[in-house]
Amino acid sequence: MKAHSLLVPVVIAAMAIVLGGCGGSGGPDSANTPGSLSVTVLFPPDSSPAQEPKVIPPGTDSVVVRILEPDTGNELVPDTVIARPQGDNEARETIERVRAGSALVQALAKPTTDGSGATLAQASAPVEVPSGDTVQVGLNLFGVAATVQVTPATLDVLTTKTTQLQAVAYDAIGNIIVGAAFTWASSNTAAATVSDAGLVAAITPGDSTVTATETREGVSDSCAVTVTQRETTQLVVDPGAAFISKGQTAQISAVAYDRDGDEIVGEPIAWQSSDPGVATVNTTGLTTGISEGSATITATASNAQADTALVDVSLYVIKLAWRGNANLDLHVFGPDYVHASPDNPEIAAGKLVTQTGVPTAREFFSGRASLPGAYYIAVNYYEGTGAVEAQVTVEGIGPSPIVRTATVTRANQNTGYPVLRDTPSWFRPVDVFISTDDITTFGPDTTVPLYESDPNP
């Protein structure tokens, strides 16, 4: 079967053939005087595309006009073949000696000049041929379907989903029949149903054959439909990491996706904590910090697809958020300006996590089992091209978080590490004293130059 582009069906209404009848002089025997029909055919141009909506389809080189007795279908006069004229698209023919009275006029579009071959389109209309008078009738030719093509030819669809099928009818030489109508049917409605417009709905796993039948000629084509159970192929947990203090909560969510990448709404999710002594999780993903440490929260779909989030429960959490075209680092110094790191005995191992992005990016530092004392929180601003606004939040101990905002307005001259001496890209938005019971601020918020070898202001 030929492959053709699909076309939106339209209703064709145009007169391509005009017939006129004339009778005799109206004398005493005029009722028995035969009439004649004058036929005009407007052929489509030779250059017409196959899918162009013409009343007479492209590729037509003749029209056969038949005049029949309405009740019996017997020919009243021999068939008349009107061929495409050379150098013109309009042809006229007069059919003589047509019996007065009722007649059925048929027009058949043919691909040859002699009226042979497959019928591409056809039309018929009743006409009264009176003696001594004139009659005109217009015929709209409808394409004669020789083949139908349904696309796609095969379909694998998941349960609960729908897919639109398309059907196109073609005449004997491959013209698209514009405005063709179809009926649709499914061989197994338990597996898949189909609407009058060809929309397939997958019901339960199984196979079905969906068929489109052209309503005039009864030619058809089918699509083999396989319905597969929809299930989770990917589970995504958000956020992938959470930093909370003891007694705080974090809402973790999980979204299930099928093989097509579509979200599965209502997928049952089971939640589990690797260490309930550190963090617990309920049936909706709400996680609560119990004691210092790390726990892995796992979400599992009904078919065992899973994803995890790392939850860090600490004495305190320091958050950095900023706006501006720059990269920032968050630094925490303990007593005597000892930099917080996993190798530092003054401050136990924590996590420094960076999420890049403009206009807002964030960093988190979680501290566990920290020694009481003064802590200096600072931000390094580098690879920036203008002003940047940074906000530091310290939370986890005490009744409310401590929030400080600082702005650097001078364009940074640095292109990365090491930071140049005397460059104002190091600012301390907040200094805090952290104990096991509370967090308090001390000292003024300051902006100081950063030196390559000595972080002390």
Neighbour-count burial for 140-163, b at 16+ CB within 10 Å, e otherwise: bbbbbbbbbbbeeeebebbbbeeb
Same domain, 323 and 404: yes
Q: Which structural domain range is residue 72 located in?
A: 17-143
d(CA 141, CA 269): 61
Q: 101 in a domain, yes or no?
A: yes
Residues 136 and 189 placed together within one structural domain of the fold: no
| Whether residue 370 has pLDDT greater than 60 | no
- Residues 361 and 432 both lie in one domain: yes
Residue 206 located in a structural domain: yes
In sequence order, which residues have a C-beta less than 8 Å from that of residue 137 and are 6 or more positions away? 18, 19, 105, 125, 127
Q: What is the mean pLDDT of residues 396-404?
A: 76
Give a yes or no: residue 12 inside a domain: no
pTM summary value: 0.64
For residues 333 and 302, membership in a common domain is answered with no
Q: Specify whether 323 is located in the same domain as 431.
A: yes
Q: Out of 87, 109, 143, pick the residue that ends a domain.
A: 143
pLDDT on residue 25: 41
CATH of the domain at 260: 2.60.40.1080
Confidence class for position 392, pLDDT limits 50, 70, 90: confident
Q: Which neighbouring-strand residues pair with 414?
A: none
- The string of pLDDT tens digits covering residues 285-344 is 999 999 888 899 999 999 999 999 999 887 777 777 777 766 676 777 665 555 544 344
Give bridge partners of residue 123 from the DSSP assignment: 107
**What pLDDT digit, counting tens, does each position of 131-171 carry?**
866 566 667 778 899 999 999 999 999 999 999 999 999 99
Assess if residue 4 is contained within a domain: no
Residues 208 and 243 in one domain: no
Domain end residue (candidates: 187, 203, 228):
228
What pLDDT does 138 receive? 64
Q: Looking at residue 215, what is its pLDDT?
A: 95
Residue 53 has pLDDT above 60, yes or no: no
- 424 and 330 in a single domain? The answer is yes
> Are 410 and 424 in contact, with CB atoms under 8 Å apart?
yes
Same domain, 287 and 324: no
Q: How many residues does the chain have?
A: 457
Q: Domain with 113 in it: what CATH number?
A: 2.60.40
pLDDT tens-digit map of 81-120: 999 888 877 888 888 888 888 889 999 999 999 999 999 9
89-98, 117-126, 228-237, range with the lowest pLDDT: 89-98
Q: Are residues 308 and 336 in the same domain?
A: no
- Mean of the per-residue pLDDT values of the chain: 77
What percentage of residues in the chain have a pLDDT greater than 70?
69
- 7 within a domain of the structure (yes/no): no
Residue 131: inside a domain, yes or no?
A: yes
Q: Is 11 a member of any domain?
A: no
Tally of structural domains, the chain: 4
Kindly report the three-state secondary structure assignment for every residue of the chain.
CCCCCCCCCCCCCCCCEEEEEECCCCCCCHHHCCEEEEEEEECCCCCCCCCCCCCCCCCCCEEEEEEECCCCCCEEEEEEEEECCCCCCEEEEEEEEECCEEEEEEEEEECCCCCCCCCCEEEEEEEEECCCCEEEEEECCEECCCEEEEECCEEEEECCCEEECEEEEECCCCCECCCCCEEEEECCCCCEEECCCCEEEECCCEEEEEEEEECCCCCEEEEEEEEECCCCCEEEEECCEEEEECCCEEECEEEEECCCCCECCCCCEEEEECCCCCEEECCCCEEEECCCEEEEEEEEECCCCEEEEEEEEECEEEEEEEECCCEEEEEEECHHHCECCCCCCCCCCCEEEEECCCCEEEEEEEECCCCCEEEEEEEEEECCCCCEEEEEEEECCCCCCEEEEEEECCCCCCCCCCCCCCEEEEEEEEEEEECCCCEEECCCCEEEEECCCCCCC
**Domain endpoint, select from 143, 164, 192:** 143
Report the CATH number that the domain containing residue 362 is assigned in CATH. Answer: 2.60.60
Together in a domain, 64 and 98: yes
Res 288: pLDDT: 96
- Same domain assignment for residues 50 and 136: yes
Q: Give the residue, 395 or 398, on which the prediction is more confident.
A: 395
Whether residues 341 and 307 fall in one domain = no
Tell me if 43 is assigned to some domain: yes
